[in-house]
């Protein structure tokens, strides 16, 4: 007697279909599980045996072979418990499952169906593979229902699912309460209206938000770098549907999605401590690599405070994601790729003591010490940061008065408009424009071109530096609603640099 | 006039330099805007008075002194800690070319192809002191390489002079220490010229104005310049606040002024440039 149902296994964001076959045949009482199962899957034998017995069903007293096909694909996780149990039950009953249907879920020994991580990722992947119905743990039904065009059957217990399949008692499909927006209430913990002075920092934030440019803030302790960085979240537009789903997928893999049928439209804001490990920032762990902070900040903001204190190899590893918006990590169990298109905001002191360049307090660092400090920041990482801005301490009398700058909501409106014109023109943000597309799409007025070239020659600008200024100028023009890049845009863009930190 | 120390030098450009007094101007690689302005003006005034300005082609005070000498239309010599064929830092390649074009020289005691090595620079500092008649130190923190040059000058019986700075600045520790130990205090180029025993014709130079080292700052075509200081770097935000203008506009105008050489960037701030580059680079 043979039973077979479909399920899947995850390798990062990649969803691979797995067919679970159960065969009950003659021979000694034995439960054999084959098909390249990782340890977590092999344990399914014990859980499935107990779950079936404790659901009031009879476990076959014969030779039982379960095969996970395709056999060359490594299977991870406990989500195959439920499909294995169902395949066994269907084999006993001599029934076939409904077509285009997949099962996912972990079993408790009493037969209850428990939560598994990554349901949203699995559901999206299965939908793309052509599945129309999915049986998931009741706790994860809301998460699965975020995927359109998929009928979600919530499973509370193994017995319930089997009764449903045998036509004894029907489980109603999960009906989403409708995807409401959560998170984006338009009010933020940090609002630009509370920032005193810092005109240059504010402007740089607006450009960073509008064009997706990475930003470095340099200034003495207490100048307000952290406050400015946190304000970035409030001037970014809410996530688009696809973006929100991708963000939710990362959280799904980490088992962090709230059990609600609503997407979070808030852009992620992550601020890992400078002691973060390579695996913590980039992603990693044993077996299949888990997403790291850079993937958790996908479509959002990654804030690295005290940039010079991060381990150098960790910072170097940011190069690939900064360039491509993805990270590929290879571990013993295979290589996975996660999205990581974030806006980097880094903050640093201008020197080890923090006071270099301050008009009032004097710096106690030796020139050699400052050089060494800047060497840690220089090179390839700085090359990929379009905006570099000095942040100065605000005078006490200014702090005592009411701040006079615009609030986040007003800035956000301009950001939204500028982003829309970029997406209409080129389908991506300016920061992601490669030089060839930049030349084609972001035309320079003759005067602008002359200015940029004159600067490049005078200062020995590298090609990267040349394109950085060009991209930033494009965003400045977009914020102006200007079709072409004017000279003033170029001149402004050239101002976002720091003399002493590698330019 | 050829000193024994000059025997083994590798040189590029005109060597030996024209007859005339020689002053070395040395100091911090990370000076304050004040120190940079002083070095540049000293370089300009001394060069204009016919003094050959010697320095080390390093960042900061060295570069400002060379630049000043070029602006003053004089001859300047860079004593290098690398081979004469390797300009260090590389960012100073253009400066090195300009030194050569203006009739100056690059000299080094090290063979061609010598890359920057930490232990070569103190030896270079000795050479600098040996080649100069006086050594003027502008901003040197404790342990600065410029102090090695000063020590060498004393051992070689050359005059050591120092420019005072703010008592709050760590960059004054070295220079004030020298003054305390008997180095002559430099307030303007005349002090240096006097130490060099320069003649009356030099004192007729407009720089004899006793008030300061200063030449009037460039009248910029942009009104922003008049709001800038020549020693204290103001940020674009501070200037924008003063003028009640959008920071984006101020930043752009400052960049334009930088292109014209009327203002200079110092970390995140701007100072008024005291000389316009004659060659728009």
Task: Inform me whether the pLDDT recorded for B204 exceeds 70.
Answer: no
Which pairs from A156-160 meet CB under 8 Å and 24+ separation?
A156/A112, A156/A113, A157/A55, A157/A111, A157/A112, A157/A113, A158/A51, A158/A52, A158/A55, A158/A82, A158/A85, A158/A86, A158/A107, A158/A111, A158/A112, A158/A113, A159/A55, A159/A56, A159/A57, A159/A111
Q: Is residue A184 part of a domain?
A: no
CATH for A390: 3.40.50.300
Q: Name A22's bridge partners.
A: A3, A66
Assess whether A305 and A451 both reside in one domain: yes
Ranges of beta strands (E only) in A332-373 are 334-339, 343-348
Q: Which residues of B touch A460 (CB under 8 A)?
A: 91, 93-94
Assess whether A66 and A199 both reside in one domain: no
Longest dimension (CA), chain A: 89
Q: How many domains in chain A?
A: 2
Assess whether A298 and A405 both reside in one domain: yes
Return the residue matching tokens 């390489």: B145
pLDDT in tens, A441-466: 878 888 999 999 998 888 878 888 89
Q: What is the SS3 string spanning A46-94?
A: HHHHHHHHHCCCCCCCCEEEEEEECCCCCECCCCCHHHHHHHHHHHHHC
Q: Minimal Cα distance from B268: which residue of A?
A: A390
Contacts of A11 (CB under 8 A, 6+ apart): A76, A288, A333, A334, A336
- Chain-chain contact of A362 with B168 (C-beta, under 8 angstroms): yes
Assess whether A346 and A394 both reside in one domain: yes
A498 touches chain B (CB under 8 A): yes
A364 touches chain B (CB under 8 A): yes
Q: Which of A130, A165, A200 is the last residue of a domain?
A: A165
Proportion of chain A above pLDDT 70, given as a percent:
92
Q: Name A25's bridge partners.
A: A63
- Chain-chain contact of B143 with A197 (C-beta, under 8 angstroms): no
B253 touches chain A (CB under 8 A): yes
- Chain-chain contact of B268 with A495 (C-beta, under 8 angstroms): no
Longest dimension (CA), chain B: 62
- Chain-chain contact of B141 with A457 (C-beta, under 8 angstroms): no
B29 touches chain A (CB under 8 A): yes
Cα–Cα distance measured from residue B134 to residue B6, given in angstroms and rounded to the nearest whole number = 17
Assess whether A154 and A259 both reside in one domain: no
Among A382-396, B90-104, B191-205, which is the least confidently predicted range? B191-205
Q: Which of A201, A356, A366 is the closest to B267 by Cβ?
A: A356
Helix (H) or strand (E) holding A216: strand A215-218
For residues B11-38, average pLDDT: 90
Cβ atoms of B134 and B26 closer than 8 Å: no
Cβ atoms of A111 and A55 closer than 8 Å: yes
Kindly compute the dihedral angle of the four CA atoms of residues B212, B218, B219, B222, in this order, to the nearest 10 degrees.
Answer: -130
3-state DSSP call for residue A152?
A: strand
Q: How many domains in chain B?
A: 2
Cβ atoms of A39 and A54 closer than 8 Å: no
Assess whether B108 and B234 both reside in one domain: no
| Min distance B146 CA to chain A CA atoms (Å) | 12
Cα–Cα distance measured from residue A77 to residue A105, given in angstroms and rounded to the nearest whole number = 10
Assess whether B150 and B97 both reside in one domain: yes
Q: Is residue B280 part of a domain?
A: no
Q: Which of B233, B255, B269 is the closest to A491 by Cβ?
A: B255
Task: Inform me whether the pLDDT recorded for A427 exceeds 70.
Answer: yes
Assess whether A136 and A221 both reside in one domain: no
Q: Is residue A500 part of a domain?
A: no
Chain A interface disruption, residue of B26, B89, B235, B244, most A CBs within 10 A? B235
Assess whether B78 and B112 both reside in one domain: yes
3-state DSSP call for residue A24?
A: strand
Assess whether B181 and B251 both reside in one domain: no
- Its ipTM equals 0.76
Q: Which of A219, A356, A495 is the closest to B251 by Cβ?
A: A495
If you average pLDDT over each of A183-187, A475-479, B263-267, which comes out highest? Answer: A475-479
Task: Inform me whether the pLDDT recorded for A388 exceeds 60.
Answer: yes
Q: What is the DSSP letter of A138?
A: G
CATH for B128: 3.40.50.450
Task: Inform me whether the pLDDT recorded for A181 exceeds 60.
Answer: no
Among the listed residues B63, B132, B75, the one whose alpha carbon sits nearest the alpha carbon of residue B99: B75
Token pair belonging to A289? 């690599």
pTM across the whole model: 0.75
Q: Which residues of A touch B236 (CB under 8 A)?
A: 199-200, 495
Among the listed residues B86, B79, B159, the one whose alpha carbon sits nearest the alpha carbon of residue B122: B79
Determine the pLDDT at residue A372: 78
Cα–Cα distance measured from residue B80 to residue B90, given in angstroms and rounded to the nearest whole number = 12
Q: Is residue B257 part of a domain?
A: yes
For residues A233-241, average pLDDT: 87
Cα–Cα distance measured from residue A374 to residue A389, given in angstroms and rounded to the nearest whole number = 15
A228 touches chain B (CB under 8 A): no
Q: Which residues of A touch B63 (CB under 8 A)?
A: none
CATH for A39: 3.30.230.10
Q: Which of A147, A165, A183 is the last residue of a domain?
A: A165
Among A173-182, A205-214, B11-20, B256-265, which is the least confidently predicted range? A173-182
Assess whether B203 and B261 both reside in one domain: no
Q: Is residue B215 part of a domain?
A: no
Assess whether A65 and A103 both reside in one domain: yes
Assess whether B76 and B117 both reside in one domain: yes
Q: Is residue B170 part of a domain?
A: yes
Among the listed residues B146, B140, B166, the one whose alpha carbon sits nearest the alpha carbon of residue B231: B166
A350 touches chain B (CB under 8 A): yes
- Chain-chain contact of A499 with B267 (C-beta, under 8 angstroms): yes
Q: What is the SS3 string spanning A375-429?
A: HHHCCHHHHCCCEEEECCCCCHHHHHCCCCCCCHHHHHHHHHHHHHHHHHHHCCC
Q: Which residues of B touch A357 (CB under 8 A)?
A: 233, 266-269
Assess whether A228 and A325 both reside in one domain: yes
B169 touches chain A (CB under 8 A): yes
Assess whether B86 and B166 both reside in one domain: yes
Counting beta carbons within 10 angstroms of the beta carbon of residue B151, is it exposed (0 to 12), middle (13 to 18) or buried (19 or more)?
middle
Q: Which of B143, B170, B235 is the closest to A390 by Cβ?
A: B235
B276 touches chain A (CB under 8 A): no
The C-alpha R_g of chain A, in whole angstroms, comes to 28
Q: What is the b/e burial string over A264-275, where b = at least 16 CB atoms within 10 angstroms of the residue's CB?
A: bbbbbbbbbeee
Domain limits for position B76 = 4-208
Assess whether B246 and B184 both reside in one domain: no
Determine the pLDDT at residue A262: 63
Q: Is residue B64 part of a domain?
A: yes
Q: Is residue B281 part of a domain?
A: no
| Min distance B172 CA to chain A CA atoms (Å) | 11
User: Which residue would you say has higher pLDDT here, A495 or A442?
Assistant: A495
Assess whether A78 and A216 both reside in one domain: no
Determine the pLDDT at residue A501: 43
Assess whether A158 and A211 both reside in one domain: no
| Min distance A460 CA to chain B CA atoms (Å) | 8
Q: Is residue A180 part of a domain?
A: no
Q: Is residue B76 part of a domain?
A: yes
Assess whether B45 and B87 both reside in one domain: yes
Task: Inform me whether the pLDDT recorded for A80 exceeds 80.
Answer: yes
pLDDT in tens, A316-375: 899 889 988 999 888 777 788 899 999 999 999 888 887 776 666 667 776 677 777 877
Assess whether B181 and B232 both reside in one domain: no
Cα–Cα distance measured from residue B134 to residue B157, given in angstroms and rounded to the nearest whole number = 9
A-proximal residues of B, 102-141, CB under 8 Å: 141
Main-chain phi, psi angles of A20, to 5 degrees: -100, 115
Dihedral sign for Cα A487, A488, A489, A495, please: positive
Q: Is residue A186 part of a domain?
A: no
Contacts of B248 (CB under 8 A, 6+ apart): A203, A476, A488, A492
Assess whether B174 and B253 both reside in one domain: no
| Min distance B192 CA to chain A CA atoms (Å) | 27
Cα B218 → chain centroid: 19
Q: Is residue B146 part of a domain?
A: yes
If you average pLDDT over each of B43-52, B100-109, B216-225, which comes out highest? Answer: B100-109
CATH for B229: 1.10.10.10
Assess whether A325 and A425 both reside in one domain: yes
Domain limits for position A81 = 2-165
CB pairs A-B closer than 8 Å? 103
User: Which residue would you say has higher pLDDT here, A16 or B277?
Assistant: A16
B269 touches chain A (CB under 8 A): yes
B281 touches chain A (CB under 8 A): yes
Assess whether B154 and B263 both reside in one domain: no
User: Which residue would you say has higher pLDDT here, A112 or A365?
Assistant: A112
């Amino acid at each position: 007697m043979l039973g077979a149902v479909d399920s899947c296994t995850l390798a990062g964001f990649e969803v691979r279909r797995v067919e679970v076959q159960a065969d009950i045949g003659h021979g000694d009482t034995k439960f054999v599980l084959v098909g390249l199962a990782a340890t977590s899957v092999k344990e399914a034998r014990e859980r499935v045996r107990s779950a079936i017995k404790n659901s009031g069903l009879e476990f076959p007293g014969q030779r039982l072979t379960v095969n996970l096909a395709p056999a060359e694909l490594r299977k991870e996780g406990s989500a195959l418990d439920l499909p294995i149990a169902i395949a066994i039950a269907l084999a006993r009953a001599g029934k076939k499952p409904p077509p285009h249907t997949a099962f996912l879920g972990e079993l408790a020994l009493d037969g209850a169906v428990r939560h598994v991580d990554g349901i949203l990722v699995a559901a999206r992947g299965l939908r793309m593979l052509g599945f129309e119905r999915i049986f998931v743990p009741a706790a994860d039904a809301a998460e699965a229902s975020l995927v359109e065009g998929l009928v979600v059957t919530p499973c509370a217990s193994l017995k319930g699912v089997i009764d449903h399949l045998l036509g004894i008692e029907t489980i109603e499909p999960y009906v989403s309460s409708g995807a409401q927006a959560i998170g984006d209430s338009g009010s933020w913990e940090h609002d630009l209206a509370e920032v005193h002075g810092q005109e240059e920092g504010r402007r740089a934030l607006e450009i960073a938000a509008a064009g997706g440019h990475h930003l470095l803030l340099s200034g003495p302790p207490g100048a307000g770098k952290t406050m400015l960085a946190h304000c970035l979240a409030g001037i970014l537009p809410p996530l688009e549907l696809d973006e929100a789903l991708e963000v939710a997928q990362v959280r799904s893999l980490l088992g962090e999605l709230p059990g609600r049928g609503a997407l979070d439209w808030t852009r992620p804001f992550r601020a890992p401590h400078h002691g973060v490990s390579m695996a913590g920032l980039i992603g990693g762990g044993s077996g299949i690599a888990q997403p790291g902070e850079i993937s958790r900040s996908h479509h959002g903001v990654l804030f690295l405070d005290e940039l010079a204190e991060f381990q150098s190899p960790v910072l170097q590893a940011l190069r690939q994601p900064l360039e491509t918006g993805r990270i590929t990590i290879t571990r013993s169990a295979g290589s996975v790729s996660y999205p990581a298109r974030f806006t980097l905001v880094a903050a640093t002191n201008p020197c080890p003591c923090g006071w270099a360049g301050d008009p009032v307090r004097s710096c106690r660092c030796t020139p050699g010490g400052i050089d060494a400090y800047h060497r840690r920041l220089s090179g390839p990482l700085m090359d990929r940061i379009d905006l570099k801005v000095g942040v100065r301490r605000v005078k006490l009398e200014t702090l005592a008065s009411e701040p006079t700058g615009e609030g986040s909501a007003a800035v956000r409106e301009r950001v939204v408009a500028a982003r829309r014109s970029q997406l209409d023109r080129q389908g991506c943000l300016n920061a992601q424009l490669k030089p060839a597309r930049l030349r084609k799409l972001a035309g320079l007025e003759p005067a602008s071109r002359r200015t940029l070239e004159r600067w490049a020659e005078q200062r020995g600008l590298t090609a990267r530096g040349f394109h950085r200024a060009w991209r930033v100028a494009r965003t400045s023009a977009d914020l102006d609603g200007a079709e072409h890049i004017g000279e003033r845009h170029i001149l402004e863009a050239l101002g976002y640099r720091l003399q002493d930190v590698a330019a | 006039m050829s000193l024994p120390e000059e025997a083994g030098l590798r040189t590029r450009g005109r060597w030996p330099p024209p007859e005339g007094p020689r002053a070395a101007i040395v100091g911090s690689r990370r000076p304050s805007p004040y120190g940079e302005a002083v070095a540049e003006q000293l370089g300009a005034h001394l060069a204009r008075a016919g003094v050959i300005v010697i320095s080390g082609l390093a960042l900061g005070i060295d570069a400002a002194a060379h630049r000043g000498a070029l602006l003053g239309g004089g001859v300047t010599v860079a004593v290098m800690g690398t081979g004469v064929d390797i300009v260090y830092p590389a960012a100073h390649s253009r400066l090195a070319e300009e030194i050569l074009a203006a009739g100056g020289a690059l000299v080094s005691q090290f063979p061609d192809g010598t890359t920057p090595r930490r232990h070569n620079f103190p030896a270079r500092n000795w050479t600098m002191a040996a080649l100069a008649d006086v050594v003027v130190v502008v901003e040197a923190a404790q342990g600065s390489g410029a102090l090695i040059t000063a020590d060498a000058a004393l051992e070689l019986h050359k005059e050591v002079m120092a420019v005072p700075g703010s008592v709050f600045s760590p960059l004054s520790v070295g220079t004030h220490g020298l003054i305390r130990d008997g180095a002559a205090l430099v307030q303007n180029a005349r002090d240096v010229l006097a130490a060099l025993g320069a003649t009356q014709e030099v004192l007729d130079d407009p720089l004899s104005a006793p008030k300061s080292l200063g030449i009037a700052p460039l009248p910029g075509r942009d009104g922003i310049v008049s709001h800038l200081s020549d020693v204290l770097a103001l940020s674009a935000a501070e200037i924008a606040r003063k003028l009640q203008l959008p920071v984006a506009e101020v930043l752009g105008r400052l960049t334009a002024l930088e292109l014209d050489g009327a203002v200079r960037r110092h970390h995140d701030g701007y100072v008024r440039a005291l000389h316009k580059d004659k060659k728009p680079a």
